[in-house]
Amino acid sequence: MLKRPKITVVGAGNVGATVAQYAALKELGDIVLTDIVEGVPQGKALDMQESAPVEGFDSLIIGTNSYEETAESDVIVITAGIARKPGMSRDDLVDTNVKVIRQVVKEVAPRSPDACFVLVTNPSDVMAQVAFRESGFAPERIIGLGGVLDSARFRTFIAQELKVSFEDVSAFVLGGHGDDMVPLARYSYVSGIPIDKLLDQATIDRLVQRARQGGAEIVNYLKTGSAYYAPGASIVAMVESIVKDKRRILPCSAYVTGQYGVNDLFLGVPVMLGKNGVEKIIEIELTDAERDALHKSADGVRHVLGKL
């Protein structure tokens, strides 16, 4: 009998629990949900497991307050940390979340030396850099959430504007997972048709700006937390590409070493995502304005890192 992949989700809040549930529904592997709050991961894991007969999945889900059960994981998704509230930027979370990430990585990395890490905790580009330094892992095995989620939001807004199927829209958002992200309208299509053939420039600019503010829009509605359904789905798309070695081309926060004129930084770029993590960084042609915007986004990530 083949051994199932093992997926650890650190943090049993809304994002972590959503990731665990989506991963189980897709039967991506057995899942360990861990959190420092006693009873919460155990209760949520049991609740999810009890949905298995109804939903028809065989993934095993356990909840724990210990890191011992995370040993020999194939993928470790880190969602632990504090979430945004109205008026906060992702960068406002840095001081608290850096401490959380350092502690988590110190616990999980030695127990799963061959795992790939998916960093979700905001600001995710910065947290990927922290995990890279703390773990000593090859940078290819550290991936930050950002582009998949931001692109999903951009794709949603394009589909709603055109009143077309969501699945027919493709789009790329590069750069840091923050207000300086770079939605690339020039590389956005509806069934192969460039969106600038379907929408005027003023509409495209409005959708680009909404994509940049997509997370804040939800935070302002919720008041006491941030998004978790679309982030959860985006994370699971990344995890699926890794555990199934699908080698999908996805915009993720990866360690660039000269690509796009940026060095030694985690930044949202198109990558081929497979069993080893980032198998390849894809360089696409950018206009001078797009490249300048990407460098501005990189400078924003460096600025936050400089405060650590």
**Is 37 part of a structural domain of the chain?**
yes
- The answer on 133 and 38 residing in a single domain is yes
265 shares its domain with 234: yes
Nearest partner of 119 among 172, 175, 75, 59, judged by Cα: 75
Residue 59 and residue 154 in one domain: no
pLDDT of residue 179: 84
Q: Mark whether 177 is an active-site residue.
A: yes
Whether residues 206 and 114 fall in one domain:
no
In a domain, 105, yes or no: yes
List the structure tokens of 2: 């083949």
Instruction: Kindly state whether residues 65 and 211 are assigned to the same domain.
Output: no
Same domain, 189 and 299: yes
- From the number of C-beta atoms within 10 Å of its C-beta (0-12, 13-18, 19+), residue 168 rates as middle
CB within 8 Å of 24: residues ≥ 6 apart: 31, 48, 52, 55, 57, 59, 61
Which helix H or strand E contains 256, and what residues bound it? strand 248-257
Q: What is the pLDDT of residue 83?
A: 72
List the domain range (segments joined by +) for residue 244: 147-306
- Residues 283 and 154 both lie in one domain: yes
Q: With a cut of 50, which residues of the chain have pLDDT below it? A: none
Say if 75 falls within a structural domain.
yes
pLDDT of res. 82: 73
Which among 177, 199, 238, 293 is annotated as catalytic?
A: 177
Residue 1: what pLDDT?
Answer: 52
46: how many CB neighbours lie within 10 A of its CB? 12
H or E stretch at 152? helix 147-162
36 lies in the same domain as 24? yes
Among 275, 283, 268, smallest CA distance to 246 is for 275
Domain identity same for 82 and 207: no
Do 134 and 100 meet the contact criterion of CB atoms below 8 Å apart? no
Q: Please identify, among 109, 144, 179, the residue that sits at the C-terminal boundary of a domain.
A: 144
Same-domain status, 45 and 131: yes
What pTM was estimated for this model as a whole? 0.95
C-beta atoms surrounding 166 within 10 Å: 11
pLDDT at residue 307, rounded to an integer: 81
144, 170, 200: which is the final residue of a domain? 144
Q: Is residue 51 part of a domain?
A: yes
Which helix (H) or strand (E) segment holds residue 265: the answer is strand 263-274
Say if 211 falls within a structural domain.
Answer: yes
Give the pLDDT confidence score for residue 86 in this predicted structure: 77
Is position 1 within any domain? Answer: no
Number of domains in the chain: 2
Does residue 24 sit within a domain?
yes
Beta carbons of 216 and 74 less than 8 angstroms apart: no
**pLDDT of amino acid 90:** 55
Q: Which CATH number fits the domain that encloses residue 152? A: 3.90.110.10
Residue ending a domain, choose from 144, 159, 185: 144
Domain with 16 in it: what CATH number? 3.40.50.720
Q: How far lies 119's CA from each of 38, 73, 97, 184, 198, in Å?
A: 23, 15, 11, 23, 35
Residues 281 and 181 in one domain: yes
CB 50 within 8 A of CB 43: no
Using CA atoms of 125, 5, 65, 9 in order, give the dihedral in degrees to the nearest 10. 30
In a domain, 267, yes or no: yes
- Both 138 and 152 in one domain: the answer is no
- CB-based burial label for 16 (10 Å; 0-12, 13-18, 19+): buried
